[in-house]
């Protein structure tokens, strides 16, 4: 197992110095799911939720969150991301919405946390906009599905397709 990079020899947390690293194209894709009642899923799809268009609001929230990750997670570097997208896939059979976020840049550190933050905040926005209708919604399975670039190369989550 590799040692933790955000802890110094005395056990103090620190932000990793990426100043000497080479820049490379970096991409990360994260996924997650929001389970809900069939009625809630239908209301989102029909755009009849009283707070407005749930998925477009969640899309904007996810993109904004990706851009703010360095302010939210203490040891993350503030990054100038060059691309962010958040997409939604309604799954009537399982009464859920699957969320996928992709973030990229050319830089010295990866964008995995930005992609996972985008999915997390998009999911929380769906919950917030629909909680009056369905307090039992469940946010699940937020994970890194894919990353490329940097010293560690490419990663694809086992059993997953991007």
Express each pLDDT in 109-157 by its tens digit. 999 999 999 999 999 999 999 999 999 999 999 999 999 998 889 999 9
Q: What is the pTM of this model?
A: 0.92
pLDDT category at 56 given cuts 50, 70, 90 is very high
Whether pLDDT at 5 is above 70? yes
CB 58 within 8 A of CB 126: yes
Strand partners, 28: 103, 147
Name the residues annotated as catalytic. 128
Q: Does residue 128 or residue 162 have the better pLDDT?
A: 128
Measured at the CA of 111, the angle between CA 109 and CA 112, to 5 degrees, comes to 115
Express each pLDDT in 74-95 by its tens digit. 999 999 999 999 999 999 999 9
C-alpha atoms less than 13 angstroms from C-alpha of 89 in its C-beta half-sphere: 10
* Residue closest to 111 by CA, chosen among 122, 119, 102, 120: 102
Of the chain, the percentage scoring pLDDT greater than 90 comes to: 81
C-alpha atoms less than 13 angstroms from C-alpha of 34 in its C-beta half-sphere: 33
């Amino acid at each position: 197992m590799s040692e933790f990079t955000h802890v110094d020899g005395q056990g103090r947390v620190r932000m990793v110095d990426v100043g000497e690293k080479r820049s490379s194209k970096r991409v990360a894709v994260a996924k997650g799911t929001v389970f809900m009642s069939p009625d809630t899923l239908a209301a989102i799809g029909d755009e009849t939720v009283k707070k407005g268009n749930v998925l477009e609001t969640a899309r904007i929230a996810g993109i904004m969150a990706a851009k703010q990750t360095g302010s939210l997670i203490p040891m993350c570097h503030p990054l100038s991301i060059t691309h962010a997208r958040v997409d939604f896939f309604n799954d009537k059979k399982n009464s859920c919405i699957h969320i996928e976020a992709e973030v990229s840049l050319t830089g010295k550190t990866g964008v995995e946390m930005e992609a996972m933050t985008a999915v997390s905040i998009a999911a929380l926005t769906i919950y917030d906009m629909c909680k009056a209708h369905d307090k039992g919604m469940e946010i699940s399975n937020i994970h890194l599905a894919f990353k490329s670039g940097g010293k560690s190369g490419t990663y694809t989550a086992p059993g997953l397709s991007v």
